[in-house]
Amino acid sequence: MTTPLRLAIAGLGTVGVGVIKMVRQNAALISARTGRDVQIVAVSARSRDKDRGVSLQNYDWEDDPVTMATRDDVDVFVELMGGSDGPAKAATEAALAAGKDVVTANKAMLAIHGQALALAAEEAGRVLRYEAAVAGGIPVIKALTEGLAGNEITRVMGVMNGTCNYILTRMESAGLPYDEVFAEADALGYLEADPTLDVGGIDAGHKLAILASIAFGTQVAFDAMELEGIDRITIEDIRQAADMGYKIKLLGVAQLTGRGLEQRMSPCLVPDTSPLGQLDGGTNMVVLEGDHVGQIVLRGAGAGEGPTASAVMSDILDIARGIRVATFGQPATRLTQATPAKAVTPAPYYLRMQLLDKPGAMAKVATVLGEAGISIDRMRQYGHQDDTAPVLIVTHKTTRAAIDAARKAFDAIDVIAEPPVTLRIEQV
């Protein structure tokens, strides 16, 4: 048996405690599979006195994660504190500079500082691994960097925020409005400390930006992503989309187009019979498309103690086995800077509006769409409620620019009660 792999773990919350449990419970199989023992030598968190449900007495306690990251008796610094900057970034940088490999679950840090950290890891000759940062327990980073490494990736898609998928599917199954289900998710402890990270699409956007970088060999570019959250989705949207054969999902899509890199995280309609349409509750799904492999669908738990610790352990086992893959699948110096392209890929759109009960109202709507170059595929009008009637329109393929032009023109006609809801229908 060779020398043990020595870990220092910063952050003893949900994920950190999960990792400690796995290192202990699966010690024998880890050493059988890697040929090395994996040992925890030191831990750090904010509060030393907190009962975390696991004993820490065999590990050195460090108040300062940065100091811990540079200890001579540590091989791998495991960053599980969170936050894009602050101690997570400082300790990660210190660990790499001190010649340690780093494992993290921190999607915010990687989405914002991924390029600089990947360069720092390469300069130091160390690895920076982050399987847990995207889609929790689903081994999607490994799938992209290793399993599909010989393919040209054509598109990456995914439902990668379990909280949003829980909210949307619960609204549909229980027939409850957004605010009530949001409160329920809060009571169940699903929401991040800042819920905008979840419902604003930011958390899922961080994950998509990381996947896009690996898939397309581009520097991670979270700032260039089109982001829209789920907080404007109503129970009517969900019901009426269902009536037309669709589910609403907070869907991320990244693809390289002739005009640049398109990255979108927004509520979209997907066919209710598709794998993405059938994804219920807090589960995640990632869809990868490669030129030779075709479509791969990965589904599993995107969060929680066990699934996230499982992903962290996969990185630790790779390091123990001597498997060393560049942060984004190729040297960071070779990653290109993609031109951002905003929703240039045409798609059908779903429009929902409250049409005033006036003669010629529908004709005016049709004229606006026609003048914007948008062709109607299907249309449905429901019974009048007071003096308005809900109208749903599914268009043929069109562009976001044409939809935006039509929305502007709708403001100038006097037959729509509120700005219409417009959602892209993703072909999955």
Residues that bind ligand HSE (CB under 6 A): 136, 161-163, 192, 198, 203, 302-303
Is 89 a catalytic site residue?
A: no
What's phi and psi for 134, nearest 5 deg? Answer: -120, 120
102: amino acid identity, one letter: V
- Shortest spacing between CB 301 and ligand NAP, in angstroms: 9
396 binds ligand NAP (CB under 6 A): no
By CB under 6 A, residue 11 contacts ligand NAP: yes
Using CB under 6 A as the binding criterion, the count of chain residues that bind ligand NAP stands at 25
According to DSSP, the β-strands at 294-301 and 283-290 are antiparallel
Residue 198 partner contact from ligand HSE, ligand NAP, none using kind-dependent CB cut-offs of 5 to 8 Å:
ligand HSE
- Residues numbered 299 to 328 that lie near ligand NAP (CB under 6 A) are 303-304, 308
For the chain, give the secondary structure using H, E and C. CCCCEEEEEECCCHHHHHHHHHHHHCHHHHHHHHCCCEEEEEEECCCCCCCCCCCCCCCEECCCHHHHHCCCCCCEEEECCCCCCHHHHHHHHHHHHCCCEEEECCHHHHHHHHHHHHHHHHHHCCCEECHHHCCCCCCHHHHHHHHCCCCCEEEEEEECCHHHHHHHHHHHHHCCCHHHHHHHHHHCCCCCCCCHHHHCCHHHHHHHHHHHHHHHCECCCHHHCEECCCCCCCHHHHHHHHHCCEEEEEEEEEEEECCEEEEEEEEEEEECCCCCCCCCCCEEEEEEEECCCEEEEEEEECCCHHHHHHHHHHHHHHHHHCCCCCCCCCCHHHCECCCECCCCCCECEEEEEEEECCCCHHHHHHHHHHHCCCCEEEEEECCCECCEEEEEEEECCECHHHHHHHHHHHHCCCCECCCCEEEEECCC
* From ligand HSE, ligand NAP, none, interface partner of 184 (C-beta below 5 to 8 A by class): none
Task: Give me the least distance between CB of 304 and ligand HSE, in Å please.
Answer: 8
- From the list 285, 424, 248, the residue with the least C-alpha distance to 344 is 424
Q: Per CB under 6 A, which of residues 59..78 are in contact with ligand NAP?
A: 65
Q: What's the closest the beta carbon of residue 26 comes to ligand HSE, in angstroms?
A: 22
Q: Which is nearer to ligand HSE, 161 or 398 (CB)?
A: 161
- Given ligand HSE, ligand NAP, none, residue 139, with its beta carbon under 5 to 8 Å by kind, binds none
Distance CA 197, CA 10 (A): 22
| Shortest spacing between CB 199 and ligand NAP, in angstroms | 16
Smallest distance from ligand NAP to CB 134, Å: 8
Which among 89, 100, 107, 207 is annotated as catalytic? 207
- Residue 348 as a binder of ligand NAP (CB under 6 A): the answer is no
Of 9, 112, 132, 317, the one binding ligand NAP by CB under 6 A = 132
The item of ligand HSE, ligand NAP, none sharing an interface with residue 46, based on CB under 5 to 8 Å by kind, is: ligand NAP
Find the shortest distance in angstroms from Cβ 375 to ligand NAP.
42
With CB under 6 A as the contact rule, which of the stretches 105-113, 139-147, 279-287, 370-378 interacts with ligand NAP? 105-113
Q: How far apart are CA 129 and CA 175, in angstroms?
A: 41
Assess 13 for contact with ligand NAP (CB under 6 A): yes
Q: Name the minimum Å distance from CB 199 to ligand HSE.
A: 10
Using CB under 6 A as the binding rule, whether residue 205 contacts ligand NAP is answered as no
Does the footprint of ligand NAP cover residue 158 (CB under 6 A)? no
List, in sequence order, every residue forming a beta bridge with 257; answer none if it has no partner. 260
With binding defined as CB under 6 A, does residue 105 bind ligand NAP?
yes
Closest to ligand HSE by CB, 164 vs 353, is 164
Does residue 45 bind ligand NAP (CB under 6 A)? yes
Please, which residue, 106 or 240, has the CB nearer to ligand NAP? 106
Give dist(CA 306, CA 132) in Å, integer.
11
- Nearer to ligand NAP (CB atom), residue 200 or residue 348: 200
Nearest-10 Cα torsion for 381, 384, 389, 393? -10
Alpha-carbon span 82 to 105, nearest angstrom: 8
Amino acid occupying residue 384 = H
Which span sits near ligand NAP by CB under 6 A: 81-89, 180-188, 248-256, 353-361?
A: 81-89
Residue 16 binds what, of ligand HSE, ligand NAP, none (CB under 5 to 8 Å, by partner type)?
A: ligand NAP
Name which of 147 and 304 has its Cβ closer to ligand HSE: 304
- Work out which of 1, 2, 28, 47 binds ligand NAP, going by CB under 6 A: 47
Residue ranges binding ligand NAP (CB under 6 A): 11-16, 44-47, 50, 65, 80-82, 86-87, 105-107, 132, 136, 303-304, 308
Q: Which residues are catalytic?
A: 207
